[in-house]
Amino acid sequence: MESLRKIENWPVPTAAAAVVRADGTVAGTHGPAGHRFALASVTKPLAAYAMLIAVEEGAVELDEPAGPTGSTVRHLLAHTSGLAFDEDRTMAEPGTRRLYSNAGFDVLGDHIAKATDIPFPEYLRQAVLEPLGMTATDLPGSPAKDGVSTIDDLIRFAAELQSPRLLSRTTLDEATRVVFPGLNGVLPGYGHHKPNDWGLGFELRDGKSPHWTGTSSSPRTYGHFGQSGTFLWVDPDAGAACVALADRAFGAWAVEAWPSLTDAVLLEIAGG
């Protein structure tokens, strides 16, 4: 895809990108396919997928207690547990605010590990990475932010998100719709949003502005971006997903470059 060549002009040492159609076919790739990038918070959708598999397997339930008093697995996945950003400190009653929380995902990882008697990085490998053939991906630390992967591997995950084999379609649909609607909060890097809609581990485009996706992205677009210069989105209305990985921390360059790339990708997809 010609649109992916835009990453050549990004002010980063290394970048790679790919577009995957809803049927799982690869529309295009650009950049080093096997280069391993730190994912930062793009780790969260991978971790959430494993956590939802644990729900379907009956190891845990979405509405069982986890985290602060009154919080559940569902609250933690949707960033409404009340936990602070990066520490195990409660800042709000569960279900009252959208407080984006790395700490919440760490609590979830520990919760899944105790329920399954499997360390969470190993559970992720068994539940998601191995079945999808994501052999270059691993989680050496936090399920919130420490994943490492390649474009080739995330192509496989982007295909899974559009045509799920490891999760039921019903569960994935629930995970990519608004959970606890109407809650306000801060989208890191993009300020306060009213509302700051989120699914179960997936950030939702809806009507947010400014946003890291494109001006032409549909409201149903979902995904995540990472502070290491990474993003993954799925636009069901466009019938496509896009992954972009870079090795420069998120900043003004990304605020400018990412929506431009997304709009170019969507235009090219629409044009056939």
Residue listed under structure tokens 């986890």: 66
Kindly report the pTM of this predicted structure: 0.97
Instruction: List all residues 6 or more positions away from 196 whose beta carbon is below 8 Å from its beta carbon.
Output: 98, 183, 184, 185, 186, 187, 208
- Residues 166-176: tens digit of each pLDDT: 999 999 999 99
Angle at 15 between CA 39 and CA 259, to 5 degrees: 85
CA distance 53 to 89: 28
Looking only at Cα atoms, what is the longest distance across the chain? 51
Q: CA dist 12 to 49, 60, 143, 217, 251, Å?
A: 29, 41, 25, 24, 11
Residues 76, 102, 122, 31, CA torsion sign = positive
Name the strand (E) or helix (H) holding 173. helix 169-175
pLDDT tens by residue, 63-111: 999 999 999 999 999 999 999 999 989 999 999 999 999 999 999 999 9
Band the pLDDT of 268: cuts 50, 70, 90.
Answer: very high
Q: pLDDT tens digit string along 232-262? A: 999 999 999 999 999 999 999 999 999 999 9
Q: Is the pLDDT of residue 201 over 80?
A: yes
